Chain A
Amino acid sequence: MKSPLDSSRSQPYRLATGGRIDRAKPLTFTFNGKRLQGYQGDTVASALLANGVRLVGRSFKYHRPRGIVGSGPEEPNAILQVGRGALTTPNLQATEVELAEGLQAGSVNCWPSVEHDIGAINGLFSRFLPPGFYYKTFMWPSRMWKTYERFIRKAAGLGVSPKEPDPDRYDRMNTHCDVLVVGGGPAGLAAALEAGRAGARVILADERRELGGSLLDGRDEIDGAPALEWVNAASRELASMKEVRLLLRSTVFGYYDHNFLTVLQRLSTDSTSISRPLIKERVWRVRAKQVVLATGAIERPLVFPNNDRPGVMLASAVSAYVNRYAVAPGSRPLVFTNNDSAYRTVLDLAEAGIPVQAVVDVRPEPNGPLPSRVKDMGIPVIGGHVIVDVKGTKRVKGVEIMSVDASGERVEGRRRSIRCDLVAVSGGWNPTVHLHCQSGGGTRYDGEKGCFVPDAPAQEERSAGSSKGSFALGDCLGEGLEVGAEAARAAGFGDGRVSTPVPTVEDRAEEPLKAMWVAPSRRPPVREHKQFVDMQEDVTAGDIVLAAREGYDSMQLLNRYTTLGFGTDQGKLGNVNGMGVLANHLGADIESVGTITFRPPYTSVTFGAIAGREIGGLLDPVRKTAIHRWHIEHRAVMEDVGQWKRPWYYPQPGESMEDAVNRECMAARNAVALLDQSTLGKIDVQGPDAAEFLNRVYTNNWLKLGIGRARYGLMLSEDGMVMDDGVVIRHGEQHFYLTTTTGGAASVFSWLERWLQTEWPELEVYLTSVTERWSTIALVGPHSRKLLQDLDSDINFEKSSFPFMSIHSGSLAGFPVQVMRVSFSGELAFEINIESDLALAMWQALMKAGEEYDITPYGTEAMHVLRAEKGFIIVGQDTDGSMTPVDMGMGWLLSKDKDYLGKRSLSRSDCVRKDRKQLVGLLSTDGTTILPEGTQLVDDPSAGIPVPISGHVTSSYASACLGHPIALALVKAGRARKGSIIYAALRDGRHVKAEIVSPVFYDPQGERQRV
């Protein structure tokens, strides 16, 4: 017989004809450093098989040699590291990676090489590596875990992460549709056609690079012609529909609430070069009115001793390699099955001229049309037998079979050897119900079909074809058309009736399979037998039985204990067999042993795709004030305050931070300085009930605040704790303007709206955020009034007409402004509010006019020092959500003659404890030590552990104007302890002695701000 193989020596297992590969485009790639050739259209897996590479990796736990098992996302063994340097990606399935020129791939989980792997010694000791081994062995003594972990992690490693930043660009796209069809096989294509014809907006997503699904792998006919002609016609029709979007190389990996699904689209499959400026991968975030799941089915392997040897493959994968890629995965195949569908593979192999050695069928007398046809061809069909062992280590050399006894549970008779180099196995089919289950739908076991099928949908979703357990091609097409029309109707398009007749298909009838979770063997399943259920996680039937004996007798416990289904393949091949093995052992129904939770992602998703473009400078918004540019031009060191960038300090050449801050503080105390304070939150409050509203949300009283006057206000949360503070201005009888902290701007606005809308709808008040409308420049220092008076203005800045805590509108140097006389520094100060487009020019005008006073811009650090010298708190720094106004020495702000949010909580027993922490000042007695913020305070530095803690430091600075460090602290019953000594416990073990003093260090009478 003439060899069917290609005569070219470079790909010895390539068939001479056929396949959906482009033989005119040979591609060179390397695998574990060895140069190999494949063709355009290959996957790495098909190219490796074409080159006769059988050993592709080592197993996770026992480092057993492993080969390619599948042809798609179910592949458990062929896990590769692909690409180099910054472009390297670990843990890719060889079956999912398209071949590209120059591609570099290597096995993971083996060292120093896949052929000689040191970890394989684990295989010899496998009797000592039972399930739960790590739990049992390494957990005690617990202090040693960190030592163990280092070695375990190293030994377990699956691939390596790139060490450099990923140079590729990843993207995210939101979209909506009427009908999302998942899967471009016969059912999905039919559904998309019907929905599209009805006029619906349709998205059809398929993980492969071309449409057709299972039709690409087989030799089916539709309407009397090769099925792919029907696929091509369907593709053309879909492409011509304006509202149909085809997403190829696109895996729907998550199905969430509200019919929200996520799709990973691989736009560049080339791992050898950077895809910029184009996109490498895009995550589509699809919100679909209706979803059609036509996700197909994945063949179930059979479990028998040494079923993990390289060369044991799924029958469907063998067909795919032969038909789609023109690759013979072996030259002397043997088929092992419990059903009729594997006979298609026999026919595919025979058609390709590859001599099938035998078909071993569990069923005593397989006599359906397919087996009969195979028998007619003279291929031996051995009924009532199972494989009891596989010969060969790094590749299959043969099998031993025995006959199954009458009980069907044991083997009997003599062992018989058959030589072969490929074992194609089929244990039936598992509908791909992952997305259905992710959406909340359940499954039920269909005894006739021997598989779990989707139960009632939980969302607007329909399954069709193999994913519903309807495996015959004619059923796939018919159901696809039906659900496509129904989904379109449910989304508001068409009448739900199928517009075209179902294409004719000659489906050969199949006899029922004989469900078998583990093949009968010479002994009951024990761990030494190596009957692998989950190859990626190295879980055997014996492991499952042992775990069940130890009490892990439901799936949810068992899979955690044995790690069944925990690999990157998520147990696509192993889970159902694992359930069956457990059920067998317990003598229970497979349905009764519990279910396995399907979680996103269906297949692995790169971190790049998850991050999208929210990386680097776009990780989070950088909010800039209108004066930002000036700060940068004047070499300000910027500080992050929430999302804002604020000037921290402005170092002059040669200055340290301390020098700069001291200079800025002294300028504010002795001359004039200015601060960009635009980030404060600002809320406009209007309406007949505005004053009443403020009365309810602030602790103090607003009814009597005069128009044009300002007042400091304190807000509490419902638990009575300080939440926010700021200055409130009364513009009119029914019109207020309040400021919040920078960080509280958004949350305070939401808080106020919430109360207004949900609790007090009777109040006539409108709130409007005006934070960004106004930029705010604080002009601070004894010369600030003179400076303003130098400028052309219609505002009288004299004390008599412009007292402390008041506001005037007018014109300043030609700018329309609102000027407030408030002070967060304790100095004479004015806050100039100006519309933001003009803020930079206003700032520049002030800088110019201030030259003669040596005007100094200052940043947030100097602002902090100035306010701390005055004992002004910063909410969130000196408070932490557990401090009441009384704790902070602000009891005078609590109105006694009205109710307000948080008032009731202030009388709780915990809030009136005498030993609550209170705000105090601290001076280190050596006069030089700056106490680190956060330092714990103790009364007795020699106390033993646990040391009683009396408080902690909240703010601490060097004060240039006082000439010594100052600190604010929260100390238990601190106000009564003024003059006493407390110790700050530093991290290095030293204790610094400090005196408790008033928190107001500077100008305690407050005279300077009122001049």
Chain B
Amino acid sequence: MSETQNEKQLWGREGFRDDPYIEAESLEVAGDAPDVILPLAAWLGLDDEVRRTSNRRIGVSVAPGEDIGPLLEKLDTIPLIALQFPAFNDGRSYSKAELLKGRHGFSGELRAVGDVLIDQVVFMLRAGFDTLQVTNPVALERLNARDLHDTPGYYQPGRGSAQANGTFSWRRTPAA
């Protein structure tokens, strides 16, 4: 983990972790980096054969206004999808996360990038994100202290939760 708090850091349910990926506009720009995240258009522009036979992992980054439709039939070959939050209050990527993880069974890494603040961390995890790329100092500090601003129960199904015992069908408790 880096000492400076303003750097991007990658966090998942188990805590902070190293990020093997770099973000690049194209494979050419990425140089020798082993794992790369490309913008959606660049990713879609890759020849499927090139992508599959590449000896590096090539993830894709999707802006809130972009359609995930073209990715759906290739999901089992995608190692990582980064959904962007240009601002914390642009909530489109939550619905996409739900669709990717819940509906379409995406089993790669689903990552939230952008304006990731502490108050949205639980929402992101419950919507299906595996990792969060964090720069906000308060978020980093609180994640470090594992203070997620969670509630003891939830009123709707979501990932990382279990059916709450003896109560209404829509209620959940955080998974142990």
Tell whether A pairs with B.
Answer: no
Residues of B within 8 A of A (CB): none
Residues of A within 8 A of B (CB): none
